[in-house]
Structure 1
């Protein structure tokens, strides 16, 4: 019984997977993180833990084993009970239980199970295809000129010296200056408006010419090829065996061609929420058929393949 593989499959979709009479593996979502000293960016993930106190059989793991191995529920329960007795015996003898892509279990001095999680897989499907990366440190430089400007920037008041002047003449010239400034401002605003209007008209003309050129380049074909009718069998089903996700669509197209050459009904099923192009080996309407195919693909092709349950138009 490939118990760790069954647990691993369920951890992608559930936050708690219980091994009856043994304990439970728990997951908790962790946000993306940045390491302060190394400037490394880590994508969001599910952190793993183990709780020996949660041993009540919720039927999740046994039903999954029964579905995959095509055996009755009672038979799956008996097989799992035998495996649990064997696991407890190994721990009692001081051995370490290693669950692939999950972690290691050992007994401590108080005969309690200690869990050391594995970090080889990220069980958060939303972050599928994302990996850590290191960014150079961001340095900020403040120029001396900016500091000087902030220091000497002041509002200079307008003052009138206490000289004897002709009050009437002063206000007369001041009124003329205000009118002149208003006329100049009006003219400047008109000039700015005319420039904006000119730029808008020129932009519209350029867009019109560009659209015309694009249409001619796209749709005017001097020697068209004869029409070809293709009969395509559209795949259907909500169970999709994921082969990978790619940031560049060209790479996803290459992967589809590669899998199709190997005999798979591969196709692209669109982007995930991170903008990555997802490629699947095939899609199935039956859950049983999907997981049977998944087991074969993991043994012969890709051990990291997994089943995405999603309705796709």
Structure 2
């Protein structure tokens, strides 16, 4: 099984692909840019980096291997685990080259260092676009061997008609080039603004839509505040393991509960839930520092 190829395929559709017990390949978008020195214009790209702290199995890679290789979820997980073991053994003695991804190696602190293949563009909207090189325009001074004479009349000098047409065309070309340069600058500004908005931390969100809701009843009760921000402790394939985790966290003093199933059919368990985003993020940071570095934030948006 070519695990590197499966990771490569997923990176075109997802921003993060985690290899359990190894690390995560995370994409980041780079806007279009112009290299003045090389007179080269580069299209927008989506390149990858490696984060060795992202080792928690979110089920994405295993589910994809299950569908492509026609294996069960357990068989796919075992196959991935065997390949990861071989990768770790190879890194102890030499570099590890992954097809179309890059090269991994260990530094002096025994941490994994990743050098991506920058020629691979994972941004699907830039498919088919390549770097464009603009030739340098030189304007050497040339002497005119046979100057065109100006015909003089009694009242004024008459310039031949074809020279006037040539001058008009030169002016139009100059104005067109200036307009294109202004358009190119505006495009770059819009790309930079869009890229700035995309810097906000990516948070997985789940949406639940209830069809055919019951009629609304007016009751004289205090409305419960909707808690849509959940600090997730884990996702479990078997419901009994999720129940056991909830009981353990409640015993440890957390307001733990089962949130529901994610799109891969795994049961999600929370440490706690919050109505305010800032409260949830503060709690998440505290959990990562004291309990579990694998905790993450789930946002449920009710439509």
Instruction: Specify the TM-score bucket, using the shorter chain as the normaliser.
Output: 0.3 to 0.5
Largest Rg, 1 or 2: 1
Higher helix share: 1
Q: Point out which structure has higher relative CO (alpha carbons under 8 A, 6+ apart).
A: 2
So what's the TM-score if we normalise by structure 1?
0.43
TM-score (norm 2): 0.45
